Amino acid sequence: MSAPDLRLSASSRVLLAMTLVLAVAMALLVTVAYTVTDQTLASSIDRTLLRETEAYSAAMTSAPSGEPLDTATRTYLKGRTGGSTGVVPLLVVRSNGRILSNSNLRIENAVSATMWGASTPRFATVQFAGKMYRVLTVPVIARGIRSGTFLAALALQPTEQTATRIALILTAAGFIALAVGLMLSYLATKRALAPLREMASSAAQITDAHLDQRLAYGGPADELGSLAESINQMLDRLEAAFSEQRRFIADASHELRTPVAVIRGNVELLLAGTTTGDDADESLGMIESESIRMSRLLDELLALARLEAGGQVRMQPLRVDVLLEEVTARTKMLGDRLVHLESGCELWIHADPDLLDGALMNLARNAVAHTQDGGRINFECLRSGDVVELAITDDGPGIPSDDVERVFDRFYRAHGRPRSDGTTGAGLGLAITKQLIELHEGTIRVENAQPHGARFVVRLPAMEEPA
């Protein structure tokens, strides 16, 4: 039989565990009951033997004065031929070498000389004629002088039989309880695991083509309900991730299709030999322009993929004004713009200098792209509680209100916000910026400035100046 054939289902494992628990409990119950019963009966025998010695002593004390010990003993033993319980103790008196007994069994032969000669009461368990007996020897004192030894004995077989019967009854009752318990456990397990089987059946129907399906659970808000809710939340995230991936692939394919088509068309013209002179130069220029555009798009896609894969972040204390001075200096080199840095940015944050610089430069390039020559770009910062706010404002056309919520989506390009150079971007720059800011546990938002223009606000956790 192969290993998979030996695997048990969850319900079978639960039933097996219940069986083992009930079986162990039953064995413990029978063992404890048998032990307690046996000890109780043994104590009862000892008490019976003690009562016999007390009764004998009382009889000897109440015997007529001057009556010999042997005569008084014979009189006592004749009256001890039975009992109200049906258990007849064996009574033996050894006096002056003579043996007086109420039975023909020579139980005295199984008792050691040490017990016969003991000066205090002694209990012992002895074997005689293939049976076990509990015996008690007590010295007989008459007129202050030891004149013999009294022995009382009871067979242990009746008590052992009683204890065994009780154990057998408890065992039979235990097996019945085990059978009933297993039946109830099977029904309870089947009912408890029914939602799991339903969830497994529903989960088996969920594929990448049907991620909109969810697990149905109509039971109470218990562990299974929590499991179903967690799985459905995971499916929500998977569905969103798959949808985003499909959209990303479709958008990337669409963005790459245009430059590839332009390059291919111009290459075909050049290969056909119908384009010469200025027209050929124009075709080569278009090929170069589209190649640069496609290379930039691939670089941005690669950067975005690396960010989503969780690239390494080297965080360190960073002074905001130093960072913004570097960003504004490079922004001035991007075009003929009036770039201004507000004073009062002597603040500290915990950040990766390279990654945060990249995010701010993306915002700076976006501002330059959407403003005309001579346009104004303003950098400012302030502290609000435990947060440092960095703002970049331009005086371009602003963002249509319908596009404000989507400007950070991949491949999304706001309508009515054309670039100053007439080109179109890939729509990845702001998506990359958002990822970079979130790596720093920060947030970014955009709003329209007055009277016109766009204002991007980055919020990052503040820190105190290092000592």
Least confident of 97-111, 386-400, 441-455: 97-111
136, 152 contact by CB (below 8 A): yes
Cis? peptide before 317, omega within 30° of 0 = no
Question: Angle at the Cα of 130 (from 125 to 136), degrees rounded to 5?
Answer: 25
The domain made up of 316-463 has a fold known as Heat Shock Protein 90 (3.30.565)
CATH for the stretch 223-308: 1.10.287.130
Token pair, residue 36, equals 């307690």
Structure confidence by residue, pLDDT tens digits, 256-266 = 776 788 788 88
396, 453 contact by CB (below 8 A): yes
Question: In percent, how much of the chain has pLDDT > 70?
Answer: 87
Structure confidence by residue, pLDDT tens digits, 266-323 = 888 788 877 777 778 888 888 887 787 778 777 767 766 666 666 667 889 999 989 9
Span(s) in the chain for CATH 3.30.565.10:
316-463
Structure confidence by residue, pLDDT tens digits, 48-83 = 888 888 888 888 877 777 677 778 878 788 777 643
Distance (Å, rounded) from C-alpha 73 to C-alpha 92?
A: 9
Distance (Å, rounded) from C-alpha 249 to C-alpha 28?
A: 67
Structure confidence by residue, pLDDT tens digits, 122-171 = 899 998 888 889 898 888 887 777 888 888 888 888 888 888 888 888 88
| Strands 348-351 and 376-384, bridge-based pairing | unpaired
Span(s) in the chain for CATH 1.10.287.130:
223-308
At residue 84 the predicted structure's pLDDT band, cuts being 50, 70 and 90, is: very low
The domain made up of 9-163 has a fold known as Beta-Lactamase (3.30.450)
At residue 255 the predicted structure's pLDDT band, cuts being 50, 70 and 90, is: low
Q: At what angle do helices 277-308 and 429-439 cross, to 10 degrees?
A: 20
154, 48 contact by CB (below 8 A): yes
